[in-house]
Amino acid sequence: MNFTLYLSKALSLSLSLSLRVIETFGDLMSLVTLTHHGRILGLSLNNPPVNSLGLALRHVLYEALQAAFANPEIDAVLLTGSAKVFSGGADITEFDKPQARAEPGLMTLINLIEAAPKIVVAGIEGTCMGGGFELALACHYRVCSTAASVALPEIKLGLIPGAGGTQKLPRLIDLEAAFNFMLKGEPVKGAELARMGVVDHLIEGEFVQGAFDFTALLVAQDKPLTRIRDRKVDYPNHQAFLDFAKNTVKTTAPHYPAPLALIESLEAACTLPFEDGMKAERKLFIDLMGTPQCKAMRHAFFAERSSSKIPDVADDTPTRPIQAVGVVGAGTMGGGIAMNFLNAGIAVKLIDTQQAMLDKGVATIRKNYENTLKKGKLSQADLDQRMALLSSTLDFKDLGDVDMAIEAVFEDMGVKEKVFHQLDAVLKPGAILATNTSTLDVNRIALTTKRASDVIGTHFFSPANVMKLLEVVRGDKTAKDVLATVMKLAKTIKKTAVVSGVCDGFIGNRMLEHYVRMSVLLVEEGASPAQVDQALEKWGMVMGPFRMNDLAGNDIGWAIRKRRYVEKPQVIYSRLADAICEAGRFGQKTGLGWYRYESGSRKALVDPVVTDIIDQYRKAQSIAPKKFTDAEIVERTIYALINEGARIVEEGMAMRASDVDVVYLTGYGFPVFRGGPMKYADEVGLFQVCASMKRFHEASHDDFWQPAALLQACLVNSKSLT
Ligand code: NAD
C-alpha cells in the first residue's frame, strides 16, 4: 500500500523534539514525504527545485530518520528524491551564513545513517550532486536509474568534497577512477555508475518500485549493514599513482590549489585510519575555502547566477513566445547565431541579399554539424532534425511569421538602418527586432522603426555557436517584456546573458579597447609582443592580446581606431598597430600579423620583420626602449580593464560590478581563479590599484589613468567593488 504522510506522522513515531521542530520550522513539515511498503519506510526528499540540503530539510530528515530507526515496525529505510533530482547538495543560498554551520549539519546526518541499526538504501533517480552524493555514500547500499546523473563538482568552486567524498569514493571504487571523478567534477550517468561500482544495482524499469523491491530483497536475505568507511583503499602502489597525478596537475593546472589538495586527501584515504582521513579532508577543505582562487571561483559562480536578474524587471514579467526566428545576414555571425536556435529546436529563416550568400551560409552550418557528427557528438538524426528546422529566403516578406528577427549584416549604420526599415514593414506586431551590432548605437537603430520598444541588441561573440557570452543591449526604449523575453531565450539557447546599456563597445569591447591600447603602448615603450602575451598568459589569460588580435583580425581594430582619431583625438594611441596593418599584416587570415603563421597552422611564430617594424617605429619616434617585468605588464593591462570596467558600472552601463566579471570570464578568456577584473581589483586592494593608476597617470599624462570615481568612492568608504 502506498500512501503519503506528512512529517507530523513521522514525528509521532519519534519520542522527542518533534514539537520544537514544528515550532521552529513552521509549515515545513512536507519537506520529507513518507511512504510505507510493508515494513520498509520510504523517505523522499521534497524540497524543490533541487532538494538542496538546507537547514530546514536537514532538521526534518534527521527527525524522520531517528523516528524510523526507533520504530520496531520498520526494517529498512529507502531514501529517495524526486524523479528529476535526488539532491543537488548544499543549499547555496546558505553559503557564508550561520545556517550553513548550524546543526544538524550534513556530517551529523551522515553519522546518524552510518550508526543506523537497520539498512538504509539510497535510491538515486535523476541528479545527485556534491553533499547529496556524500549522503548517498553514507547509506549501506545504493541503487540508481539509468537517467541518474551523479557528480562531485566541488573542484569547480575551487574546493574538494568536504563531507567524506574523498575518503569514501576511493574505498568504494578504483582509486584512479575516484580521482578522475572528483578532478573533473562532471556528472556520470546511471549505467556507468553501475559499471564503476558506485551503485550496487541499476534499475532500468519503474524506479521507485524497483528500489523498494531491491531493499526488500536485502532485508529478506538478511544482508549486512555494509559501511564504506569500514573498507580499505584497495589499489596496488597507490603512492606511484598519486605522485604521477601530482606531477600532472602541477603542469596542467598550475594556478589551482584544489587538485593538489584532492590528491593529498586521497593520500590520506590510502594511508590513514578513516577518522584521521576525515580530519585531513576537513582541514584541506577549510584551507581551500580561504584561498583567493576559491573565493574567486565562488564569486564567479554567484556572479553568473545573478547576471540574469534585472532590478526593475520583475521575475514574473510575462514573456513573448519565440518559436521561429529570422536571421538577417548569412555571414560569419548570422550562421553561428542560427545554429544556436536550431540546436534548441527553434525554427530559423535565414535571409541575405544574394542566393550565393545564402547557399554558402547554409553549407557552412551543415559542415559544422557534420564535423560534430564525425567527432561522435551528434547523431545523424539530430543533424537531419536541425537542418530541417532551417529555411532560407531572399525576400523579407517571408519573415512575416517569425517571432523575432536578429540582424547580422555589415557593420554599417546605413545598411543596418535600411534592414530595420524593411523588418519594421514586414514583421508581425509583437515580434522582437534585435541587432548583433558590435559598435553602433542601438538607440539610433531603434528609431528607424515605428516600434522602438520592440528593438534590442543581442551581441553574440564569435564563434557564435560556441561562445557562451551574450551581451543583451537594453535601448532607452526597449520594453521590459522584450528584455525579459530575450533573457529567457538566452537560457534556452544556453548562453550566459549580461545586460549592457548603450555605449560604444558595450561592456566587453569598451574595456578591451583600453587593454589592447595599453598592450601596444607597452610594446612601443620597450616590451615585445611575445613578452606581453606570455606575461598575461602566465598570469592566466587564455590568450595574450597580440595573439588575440591576430586571431580576430588586426584590420577590425584599425578601422575602429581611424574613427577614434577623429571622434576622440584626446585618447592616446600608439600608431605602431597602424604600422603593422599598413604592412598588410592583418593576422592569421593573411598568415602575417604581430606574428607569422605557417600555412594551416595557428602557432604564433616570432617574426624578425615585426621586430624590425617596431625598432624603426621607436627610432622614428625617438623612443629609447625600456625593460618591463612581467608584473609591470600585467598591472598596466589588467588595471586598464579595471578602470574602464569601474566607469561602466559607475555610469550604469552594467547593472553591477559582478556583471563586468561575467563578461570577461565567459567572453574574453579571463582566468576564473582570479574571479574577473572587478573581483581581482578587490583581491589586490583598491588602495594599491588606485595608487598604481595615479603613478601611470603621472608618467603618461593619459587622463584615462585618473582612477574611476567608483574606485575612489569604494576606497574612501572601505567598500569592495563586488
Ligand atoms: P559578414 O560580412 O561575415 O556577414 C554579413 C552578411 O550580411 C553577408 O552575408 C552579407 O551578404 C549580408 N548582408 C549585407 N547586407 C544585407 C542586407 N541588406 N540584407 C541581408 N543581408 C545582408 O559579417 P559578420 O562578421 O557576420 O558580422 C555581422 C555583424 O555582426 C556586424 O554587425 C558585426 O559587427 C557583428 N559582429 C561580428 C563579430 C565577429 O567577430 N565577426 C562579433 C560580434 C558581432
Residue in 332, 406, 472 to alter for ligand 1 test, most ligand atoms within 8 A of Cβ: 332
> In angstroms, how far apart are the furthest CA atoms of the chain?
94
Ligand 1 geometric centre to CA of 407 (Å): 8
Mean pLDDT throughout 335-358?
A: 98
> Could you say which of 63, 114, 134, 304 is catalytic?
134
* Ligand 1 atom index nearest CA of 411: 32
Nearest CA to ligand 1 atom 25: 332
Pairing of strands 188-189, 149-151: antiparallel
Ligand 1 geometric centre to CA of 411 (Å): 7
What was the pLDDT predicted at 151?
A: 98
Which amino acid does the sequence have at 558? Answer: W
What was the pLDDT predicted at 29?
A: 61
Higher pLDDT, 643 or 7: 643
pLDDT at 26 > cutoff 90: no
What was the pLDDT predicted at 9?
A: 40
What was the pLDDT predicted at 93?
A: 85
Beta partners for residue 145, in sequence order: 203
Q: Quick one: 654 exposed, middle or buried, by C-beta within 10 A (0-12, 13-18, 19+)?
A: buried
The pLDDT confidence band at residue 303, using thresholds 50, 70 and 90, is very high
Q: Which residues are near ligand 1 (CB < 6 Å)?
A: 328-334, 351-353, 357, 408-411, 415, 418-419, 436-438, 460, 462
DSSP label of 720: -
* Ligand 1 atom index nearest CA of 462: 40
What was the pLDDT predicted at 558?
A: 94
Contact 683, 296 (CB under 8 A): yes
> Mean pLDDT of all residues in the chain?
95
> Could you say which of 63, 154, 267, 407 is catalytic?
154
What was the pLDDT predicted at 20?
A: 34
pLDDT at 102 > cutoff 90: yes
Nearest CA to ligand 1 atom 43: 461
Decide yes or no: CATH 3.40.50.720 for domain 324-500. Answer: yes
Ligand 1 geometric centre to CA of 329 (Å): 6
**Residues carrying CATH 3.40.50.720, the chain:** 324-500
Q: 523-537 pLDDT, tens per residue?
A: 999 999 999 999 999
* Ligand 1 atom index nearest CA of 335: 26
pLDDT at 16 > cutoff 70: no
Mean pLDDT throughout 462-482?
A: 97
What was the pLDDT predicted at 576?
A: 97
**Residues carrying CATH 1.10.1040.50, the chain:** 508-716
Which amino acid does the sequence have at 716? Answer: V
Ligand 1 geometric centre to CA of 513 (Å): 21
Question: pTM of the entire structure?
Answer: 0.92
* Ligand 1 atom index nearest CA of 330: 9
pLDDT at 1 > cutoff 60: no
Mean pLDDT throughout 210-230?
A: 98
Ligand 1 geometric centre to CA of 315 (Å): 33
Ligand 1 geometric centre to CA of 369 (Å): 21
Q: 586-624 pLDDT, tens per residue?
A: 999 999 999 999 999 999 999 999 999 999 999 999 999
CA distance 574 to 589: 23
Nearest CA to ligand 1 atom 31: 411
Decide yes or no: CATH 1.10.1040.50 for domain 508-716. Answer: yes
User: Helix or strand or coil: residue 432?
Assistant: strand
DSSP label of 624: P
pLDDT at 4 > cutoff 70: no
The CATH classification of domain 3-286, taken from the options 3.30.460.10, 3.40.1030.10, 3.90.226.10, 3.40.50.970: 3.90.226.10
Q: How many residues in total does the chain contain?
A: 722
pLDDT at 27 > cutoff 70: no
Q: 628-676 pLDDT, tens per residue?
A: 999 999 999 999 999 999 999 999 999 999 999 999 999 999 999 999 9
Nearest CA to ligand 1 atom 20: 352
pLDDT at 544 > cutoff 80: yes
What was the pLDDT predicted at 28?
A: 55
Mean pLDDT throughout 101-122?
A: 97
User: Helix or strand or coil: residue 532?
Assistant: helix
Beta partners for residue 36, in sequence order: 41
Establish whether 154 is a catalytic residue. Answer: yes
What was the pLDDT predicted at 6?
A: 38
**Residues carrying CATH 3.90.226.10, the chain:** 3-286
Establish whether 525 is a catalytic residue. Answer: no
Which amino acid does the sequence have at 319? Answer: T
